[in-house]
Amino acid sequence: FQPWVINGVVEPPANPLTISQTCVRFNDIDNVGKTGRHFTMFEMIAHHAFNKKDSFIYFKDRTVELCHELFTKELGIDENEPTYIEEWWEGGGNSGPCFEAIVRGVELATLVFMMYEETAQGRKNLPMQVVDTGYGLERFAWVSQGVPNAYEAVFPQLGGKLKQMLRLDVDMHILKRYSALCSKADVHSQGAIRAVKEELSIELKMDFEHLSSLLRPFEQIYTILDHTRGLMFLLNDGVVPSNVKDGYFARLLARRAMRAMDLLELDASLSDVVGWQIEEYSNYFPELGKNRETILQLSRVEEAKFERAMEKGKAMVERIEKEGRLDLEAMIELYDSHGMDPETVSQCAKSPPVIPDNFYALVAQRHENPLDENKTTTREIPGGSTELLYYQDDTVQSFQAKVTAVLEEGVVLDKTAFYPEGGGQETDYGTINEFKVSFVEKAGTAVLHHITGEWKFSVGEVVTGIVDWERRKQLTRQHTATHIINAAARKVLGKHVMQTGAHKSEEIARLDITHYEGISHEDLRKIERIANDIVLENREISQSVLPRDEAEGKYGYTLYQGGAVPGRDIRVVNITDWDVEACGGTHLHNTGEVGFIKLLRAKRIQDGVVRLEFTSGSSAVSTVQELDRSVETMAKSLGSPKGDVPKALLSLLTEHEMIKEELKELKRGAINNAAKDLSNEGKTVSGINLI
C-alpha cells in the first residue's frame, strides 16, 4: 500500500484489512540455511488499519491485543511466553515505532505503527496513521511443530528426499541447539555464525571442525530448498534470469543453489529440484502446474548459462590476479557476470582474497536500487491544468483554446488535442495559429506546446490548434500494433514475456520484451503471422478509465506492461480477448485499422531482453515495397525471375567459391613454377646453392 494508499491515490480493499502475501527479500541471503529462520522467499500474513482524521480504526493498544489473542487463544501459547520489544522501524520512505513479538527466542511478528514520512527536510507527520503488521507463517510452523528449525518445518518431504539421496544423518538435538543459539544471538554475519558454532562446540564438548563438517551439508540443503522455491515463484511470475533488475535476483538464487548442489555432489540438476518443488506446491498454487514447462525450460537455460560462465570465469580470475586487482569489486563483477562465488574464486586464485561476511547481501544491495541513468526530474510548468481533448474525443483534429501561460519555449493552453510525448509514443506535431508546434510535453497536469519561428502570444488569448493528422494516425497505428505484437510474442514464446520498454515513431517502432535467448527467424515469422491474424479479425478495442483497485482486481498485474502507472484511476486499453494493458497512449477503435504489421528484425539488447523492431500501416507497406524493389534489382542483376533469386544467388555463391579454389590452385602452381625457374638459374659457390 506504499505509496498508493498512504498518499490517498487509492482506497484499501478493506479497512481494517487482513492479507497473506508471498514475499521475496534478499538482505538476509547470507544467513539463509544457517540461522534456522531466514528465508529469501516467505509467506507474510498481516492485519492492517488505516487511521484518518475522520475515521479511526485501531492503533497500538488494540494491535498488541490482537497479536496476543492470536498467540494465546488461537495458537495455545502460554500467555506468559510472548515478549514484546519496542524498536524503531523505517521503510519505503516512512517510519514509526514498532514491537517485535518474541516467542521461545523466535520473532514471530513485527507490529509497525507507521506515523512519519522521512524527507530531505526532516521527519513529517503522515496524513494517516497506519498499522502495518507482519507475521511469519514459516516461523509459526516451526514453533508449533517443535522441529529443529524452520526449514525442517516448511520442507519436510523434499528436505527428507535430499537427505536420503545424500545418506545424511545427524542428531536432531545438534540442529535444534544450533538454531536456538542463532536466534538468541540474533546473528547477522558469518563471523557471528562462527561464534555460535564455537559456543555450541564447547557446549556439546565437540571439536569445532567436526561440528562444522556435520552442519555444513544441512546448511547447503536448506539453501537449495529455499532458493529453488523462491526461484520457482519468480519464474512463475514471468521473471527471466539475467544480470539486470528483477532478473538478477532470479539468477542469484539459481547460481547459489547450483553452487550448493555442486558442493554436495548432489545427483540432480537445478531443473530436477525445481520440478520437485512444483509438485509440492502446485496443489496450493495451481498456476505453478500450468506454467510448469516454462519454469523448467528457464531453469534448464540457466543451468547451461552457468556452466559456460564458469568456464570463462576461471580464465578471468587468473588474468585479474596477474593484474593485481582481485579485490571486492572484482569479486562482485566475477559473480555478477560469470556466476563465480567467492569460494570458487579462492580455489582458482593463487592467493585467496579476503571474503566479507555479507558478500551476497552486498551483491543483492547493488541490484535492489540500480542507478537510473535516464531518470529525469519533472519540471514545474505554470498555467494550471490542461484539459486533454484526445481522451474525450480522439477524432478532434482542430480546436480553440485559451493561453494560460507563456514560456520561452512556447505556450500552455487550458485545453489541447495535441498528444504530449509519453509512454514511448512520440509527440504530436501541428500548428497553433499557423505557427509550427515541434514538441509537446506534459508536466503534472499542465501541457506545454513548443513553438518554432517568431511567434508572439499573450495570456488570455484564444488560439486555434491543428494537429498533423497523418502523423497522429500513424503513431496511433504503431501504438496499437505494439500491444498486438506483445500478446503475440507471449503466445509464441511463453507466459514469461513482459514488456520492458517501447518506442513508437512514424517510420519504425520497437518493443523490448523479456526472453532468455535470441528469437529465431521461425518464431519471428510466427509472431508476425499471429499479429496480422488479429489485425484481419478486426477485433474491437475499448478504452475505459477504472479505479486502480477495480482494474487490478479484474485484470491482474499484467496490466502494467513496462511498469506501474501512477494515479487513483488508470486508463485501460482492451483488445477484445487478446490483450489488456494500462496505457495512456492513443489507440485505434478496432485492430483492422492497423492495416498491416511487418516485423523487421529481432536482436538481444541485454541479457534477458530482446528488442523487436517493426512497422505498421502505410509505413509497413512502404517497407515491403522497398524490399520488393531490392529483390527486383537483384533479379535483374542475376538474370533470373524474382521467385528464383534465392536459387540464383546460391548458385552464384557456389560458383564464386569454386573460382576462389581454382585461383588458389593457379597461384600455388605459379609459385611452384617460379621457384623451379629460380632454382635452375642458381649458381653453386663453395658447395652452396645460391638463387
What pLDDT is attached to residue 655? 85
Flag whether pLDDT at 378 surpasses 60. Answer: no
> Count of residues for the chain?
691
Which pLDDT belongs to residue 334? 78
Instruction: Please report which confidence band the pLDDT of residue 97 belongs to, taking 50, 70 and 90 as the band edges.
Output: very high
CB 683 within 8 A of CB 690: yes
Q: Which residue has the higher pLDDT, 361 or 307?
A: 307
Q: Which residue has the higher pLDDT, 11 or 385?
A: 385
- Output the pLDDT for position 2: 67
Task: Say if strands 683-685 and 41-51 run parallel, antiparallel, or are unpaired.
Answer: unpaired
pLDDT at 46 over 60: yes
Among positive and negative, which fits the CA dihedral 433, 435, 437, 441? negative
Q: What is the pLDDT of residue 691?
A: 64
| pLDDT per position as a tens digit, 401-414 | 999 999 999 999 99
Q: How confident is the model at residue 375 (pLDDT cuts 50, 70, 90)?
A: very low
- Residue 306, pLDDT score: 85
Which has more pLDDT, 334 or 613?
Answer: 613
What is the pLDDT at residue 367? Answer: 65
pLDDT value of position 612: 96
For the cut 70, the answer to whether the pLDDT of residue 369 exceeds it is no
For the ranges 175-189, 361-375, 416-430, 504-518, which has the lowest average pLDDT?
361-375
Asked which of 19-33, 208-222, 416-430 is least confident by mean pLDDT, the reply is 19-33
Residue 682: predicted pLDDT: 67
| 179 Cβ contact list (under 8 Å, min separation 6) | 35, 36, 37, 148, 149, 150
Q: What is the mean pLDDT of residues 280-294?
A: 93
Q: Which residues contact 115 (CB under 8 A, 6 or more apart)?
A: 95, 96, 97, 125, 126, 129, 130
Cα separation, 494 vs 525, whole angstroms: 16
At residue 289, does pLDDT exceed 70?
yes
pLDDT in tens, 126-143: 989 999 999 999 999 998
Residues 6+ apart with CB under 8 A from 352: 345, 346
In the predicted structure, residue 372 carries a pLDDT above the cut 50 = no
Predicted pLDDT at 186: 65
pLDDT for res 597: 96
pLDDT of 499 above 80 = yes
The percentage of residues in the chain with a pLDDT greater than 70, rounded to a whole number, is 94
| DSSP, residue by residue, 502-564 | EEE-SS-EEEEEE-SSPPPHHHHHHHHHHHHHHHHTT-BEEEEEEEHHHHHHHH-GGG-TTS-
- Judged against a pLDDT cut of 90, whether residue 158 lies above it is answered with yes
Q: What share of the chain is helix, strand, coil (3-state, %, to 5)?
A: 45, 25, 30
More confident residue, 616 or 322: 616
